[in-house]
Amino acid sequence: MRIVGAASAFPKYHYDQKALAEAFLAYWGDRLPEPRKLELLHSNVGVKGRHLSLPIEQYPALRFGEANDVWIRTAVELGEVAIPAAAEQAGIDPKEIGAFFFVSVTGIASPSIDARLINKLRLSTAMRRVPIFGLGCVAGAAGISLAADYVRAYPDRFALLFSVELCSLTLQHDDLSVANLISTGLFGDGAAAVIVAGDQAAEKCTKAGPEIVATQPTFYPDTERVMGWDISETGFQIVLSPEVPDVIASNVGRDLDGLLAANGLTRSDIGCWMLHTGGPKILRATAQALGVPDAALWASWECLSEMGNLSSSSVLMVLEKTINKRPAPGTWCILAAMGPAFCSELVLLRW
């Protein structure tokens, strides 16, 4: 099983962090008890700029139903860019894809986005479709694991993972909580497509990426309020506990050692790390838990700076950036993400 293609796509509207902070300050005005706090939060998340699905001036009037319509339209547009690009990188015709795993946590649709893209891109009508909602940030890594399970069963086939997260469309206009203020400074919009090939299918690909050696999901009981959404008549209201770094620090290192031991490896064998760009505190907590220096997470830090946190799409963009650098053959790699419940997904790769 191999990853044979990875490509990202972004909405056309892009704003630097200063312009976004100024827009929020102007919108909330004197409703903010401490305006300086918002500026500090935005400046401390390590983000230089982000993509938005709409021009910034259209957000104040946007409500849940309208936002979801924009989510559907934009998700399809980004899929029309990212999926052919990933297929081209893999050197295959998109019609060869046998399964379509779609993940998102920032909008809802029925028919789901995968169905709409099968129509738009004229993909195989015999394709296995698996739309998934609710896994949040972990879904990028979990989606790779699910795609790997599919091609393990069907080694002559290709599986597509498409993630789209348009976090700006979940904006809560009247939520002045610290969690929402952080989210307005951290989260952006974007999408990513990854193609996974079975062992036989991978032989057709001239630029095959890393081999998927093993995967490991871990669910942490009784952590439902650590991260997620509260859904109301106004849409998606973020749940983001300050406990997130502590939960990561307490669990991820142990989980990693278990995965590595099962494959006859230790941490010193890992030469490449691809971690979800949850934010500076999340990245530092994860690095500490795994015992790796910040420099080893260069791709994650670069993606955080360039585009912010894109939930499930983030780790796939880190993957794309790493593929473009192509680590040396034989290099062992860990791809990891965490998400609501709280949970983690680890993927062991070899180049």
* Domain ranges for the chain: 2-202, 211-350
Are 185 and 45 in contact, with CB atoms under 8 Å apart? yes
Lookup: tokens for 350: 């070899």
Q: Is 137 a catalytic residue?
A: yes
The DSSP element (H or E) to which 274 belongs, if any, is strand 270-275
Q: What is the pLDDT of residue 46?
A: 93
Q: What is the pLDDT of residue 294?
A: 81
Give the predicted TM-score (pTM) of the model: 0.95
What is the CATH number assigned to the segment(s) 211-350?
Answer: 3.40.47.10
Nearest CA to 107 among 150, 69, 156, 59? Answer: 69
Query: Along the chain (351 residues), what's the average pLDDT of each consecutive run of 10 residues?
Result: 97 96 89 85 92 96 94 98 97 96 97 98 97 95 98 98 97 87 93 97 86 96 85 82 84 93 96 93 87 90 96 97 92 95 95 94
Strand partners, 130: 101
CA dist., res. 21 & res. 43, Å (int): 9
Which residues, in sequence order, are CB contacts of 148 under 8 Å at separation 6+? Answer: 1, 159, 196, 212, 215, 347
Q: What is the pLDDT of residue 32?
A: 86
The DSSP element (H or E) to which 189 belongs, if any, is strand 189-197
Q: Which residue out of 137, 167, 205, 272 is catalytically annotated? A: 137
Q: Is 44 exposed, middle or buried (0-12, 13-18, 19+ CB in 10 A)?
A: middle
The DSSP element (H or E) to which 179 belongs, if any, is helix 178-186
Tell me, yes or no, if the two domains 2-202 and 211-350 fold the same way. Answer: yes
What is the Cα Rg of the chain in Å? 19
CA dist., res. 135 & res. 142, Å (int): 8
- Superfamily of chain region 2-202: Thiolase/Chalcone synthase (3.40.47.10)
Span between the terminal Cα atoms of the chain, in Å: 12
